């Protein structure tokens, strides 16, 4: 269900919403000035807090990655679409397109580095027999000490949402008028994105293992739902004076809970999947309150 929603529903949604809006209305260079400083500042804060924490390497990588992987597509896009309209959703598509490659790269790097750190002591001591990793090969099939750049590039450039955003931007930039049948097909596919996204989130929930991780789950949930959007608000409102709709889009996207895709990508590595599934549940439930609060705050200080 996740793959169906992401590959067809969301990719069609971002394509049609970008394609049907003027490029000048969607894209503002100030958005990038806010987006990247907010993103990297937040990751640095989280990294330095948890890098020196004495916990298992697999759990540490899960904590750090969960802290910056937001459910922008499945939760952020529907909220912006219904609360602020198609233009806000189109702007959100640009933000997602900019961050998605970075998220994939940083996720792979953190999982890979901590995976190698955890397996480093055992690489030379484990026998090759019985299917155990040998000759410096990690459990996910990558050579120890090396990041699989080919797989990273494939994940980025073949991602359906990135393809949808790129195609939509080309259509929008060159003011191409799409034939009515084509528009209708993408509109039908995009209409299924929101309900399927919400169903897929519910279907992914597993209520086990929350109690054993409650301390770090609480910290990460607070960081994601409060600290991350607060940093974006400071940069957008008080440093770069970002436009109202752009500011709303970036703050709401940064205020979304942990992405289900974090769990899916984590399955490729030797990380703490129990923690990831638990923090997805808790942050999603709590976000019902925090996102409501953010919508209220943003309308108060920055009317759209």
pLDDT in tens, the chain (304 residues): 667 776 777 678 778 877 877 777 767 788 888 999 999 999 999 999 988 888 888 889 999 999 999 999 889 989 999 999 888 888 888 888 788 778 877 887 888 777 666 555 444 444 444 444 444 444 444 444 455 677 767 777 787 877 887 888 888 888 888 888 888 888 887 777 667 766 765 665 666 678 778 899 999 999 999 999 999 999 999 999 988 899 999 999 999 999 877 877 777 777 888 888 889 889 999 999 999 999 999 999 877 6
DSSP 240: S
Give how many domains the chain has, as a whole number: 1
SS3 for 142-203 is CECCCCCHHHHHHHHHCCHHHHHHHHHHHHHHCCCCCCHHHHHHHHHHHHCHHHHHHHHHHH
Helix axes 86-123, 77-84, angle to 10 degrees: 170
Residue 250 exposure: Cα atoms within 13 Å on the Cβ side: 32
Name which of 290, 2, 9, 303 is nearest 164 in CA terms. 9
Identify the domain containing residue 210 by its residue range.
2-301
CATH number of the domain that residue 87 is part of: 1.20.1530
Q: How far is CA 291 from the centre of its chain?
A: 16
Q: What is the Rg, in whole angstroms, of the alpha carbon atoms belonging to the chain?
A: 20
User: The tokens 């949930």 sit on which residue?
Assistant: 221
User: Whole-angstrom Cα distance, residue 294 to residue 301?
Assistant: 11
Name residues whose C-beta falls within 8 Å of residue 250's C-beta, 6 or more positions apart in sequence.
Answer: 31, 34, 35, 38, 95, 232, 236, 242
């Amino acid at each position: 269900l996740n793959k169906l929603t992401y590959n067809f529903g969301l990719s069609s949604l971002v394509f049609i919403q970008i394609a049907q809006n003027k490029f000048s209305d969607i894209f503002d260079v100030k958005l990038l000035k806010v987006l990247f400083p907010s993103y990297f500042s937040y990751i640095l804060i989280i990294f330095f807090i948890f890098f020196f924490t004495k916990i298992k390497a697999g759990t540490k990588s899960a904590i750090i990655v969960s802290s910056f992987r937001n459910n922008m597509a499945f939760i952020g896009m529907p909220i912006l679409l219904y609360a602020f309209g198609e233009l806000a959703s189109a702007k959100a598509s640009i933000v997602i397109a900019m961050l998605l490659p970075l998220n994939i790269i940083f996720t792979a790097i953190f999982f890979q580095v901590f995976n190698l750190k955890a397996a480093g002591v055992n690489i030379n001591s484990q026998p090759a027999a019985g299917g155990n990793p040998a000759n410096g090969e990690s459990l996910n099939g990558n050579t120890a000490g090396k990041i699989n750049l080919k797989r990273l590039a494939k994940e980025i450039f073949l991602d359906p949402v990135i393809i949808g955003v790129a195609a939509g931007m080309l259509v929008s930039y060159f003011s191409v008028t799409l034939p009515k049948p084509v528009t209708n097909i993408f509109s039908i596919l995009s209409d299924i994105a929101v309900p399927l996204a919400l169903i897929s989130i519910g279907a992914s929930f597993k209520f086990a293992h929350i109690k054993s991780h409650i301390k770090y789950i609480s910290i990460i949930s607070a960081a994601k739902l409060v600290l991350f959007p607060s940093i974006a608000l400071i940069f957008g409102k008080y440093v770069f004076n970002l436009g109202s709709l752009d500011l709303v889009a970036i703050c709401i996207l940064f205020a979304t809970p942990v992405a289900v895709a974090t769990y899916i990508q984590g399955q490729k590595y030797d990380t703490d999947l129990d923690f990831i599934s638990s923090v997805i549940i808790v942050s999603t439930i709590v976000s019902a309150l925090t996102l409501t609060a953010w919508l209220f705050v943003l309308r108060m200080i920055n009317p759209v």
